[in-house]
Amino acid sequence: MEMEKPYVIGIDMGGTNTVFGIVDARGNVISKGAIKTDNPDINDYVLNLKTELTKLIDAAGGIEKIKGIGAGCPNGNYYTGNIEFAPNLPWKGVVPFATLLSEAFGIPAAITNDANAAAVGEMTYGVARGMKNFIMITLGTGVGSGIVIDGKIVYGHDGFAGELGHVRVVRNNGRLCGCGREGCLETYSSATGVARTAREFLEMSDKQSSLRLVEPKMITSKDVFDAAMQDDELAKEVFEYTGKILGEAFADFIAFSAPEAIILFGGLAKSGDLILKPVVENMEKNLLAIWKGKVKVLFSALKEADAAVLGASALAWEL
């Protein structure tokens, strides 16, 4: 690592916002900014990104101080540098994002998907420091995962390994998923899934609940969390149910890669014990005897705002 290039750039592309930052070798985010992701024209979007990022780059001493750019993007393929068929982004088909970035800034760029970026961030700067085997589960609008085996992110032969959010946990009459299939884990244990469960529970029972004061299609996972914190029985049942599905799925994931820990990241991880208790209980209940009591379930130690930017930036040190 040449010391005259002390910084890297990390970009975290979400469905709504793109957050970016300049990061030093210690994992300090020196400066940070954001733009909206919803620009229908990819070239406009890159131009907009360049304009805003250049302000930070200039303040840090210019582009010659930057080693490279790493970006975490939905359906970002580390091997090809392309964003491929991302359902929640405004650009359809295949977008050669790494190329667009390196052409715009004149420095090397690499991309991966957002959950892998969070896993790299956790391993480089967070609770997974020193761990060689762990699974990162991001519980946001969808459910993403980054699988680390023997200290390396698992990419598979095509760059897309680790889609644990699209393991089908309900085989018959499962919920329809954005991917077009039914019963995916994501449809039950994402933030969106929690809201969906709440709507179903409200319909199926006549239990008293403060959630009945909210128009059903406006209910969010935060509403369910707030209600559960006020001891609302129905809301607590929603978390029990979500934790059960997640815990059972974790027991299966452990059988595959024997991780030291499963690390929860993203909006739903903020629910603390409400989600952790049922997850651990149902995971342990369903584990093969050799793994019982051996696998930790931890919350990410990184500020959510910084984790994906840090993880993405960590890619750039390799360039």
**How would residue 262 be classed by pLDDT, with cut points 50, 70 and 90?**
very high
pLDDT tens column, 215-260: 999 999 999 999 999 999 999 999 999 999 999 999 999 999 999 9
Type and span of the H or E element at 273: helix 273-286
Q: Which of 262, 244, 191 is nearest to 220 (CA)?
A: 191
Name beta bridge partners: 137: 145, 264
**How would residue 3 be classed by pLDDT, with cut points 50, 70 and 90?**
low
The share of the chain scoring above pLDDT 90, in percent, equals 81
- The chain-wide mean pLDDT, for the chain, equals 93
pLDDT at 256: 95
Q: Which domains does the chain have, with CATH numbers?
A: 7-120+305-317 (3.30.420.40), 130-300 (3.30.420.40)
Q: Which residue has the tokens 């049922």?
A: 278
pLDDT tens column, 13-40: 988 899 999 999 888 999 999 999 989 9
pLDDT at 248: 98
CA distances from 140 to 40, 155, 173, 287, 301 (A): 23, 21, 23, 25, 16
Q: Which of 85, 62, 61, 67 is nearest to 75 (CA)?
A: 85
pLDDT at 2 over 60: no
Query: What average pLDDT does range 165-171 have in this prediction?
Result: 96
DSSP per-residue codes, 279-292? HHHHHHHHS-GGGT
pLDDT at 81: 96
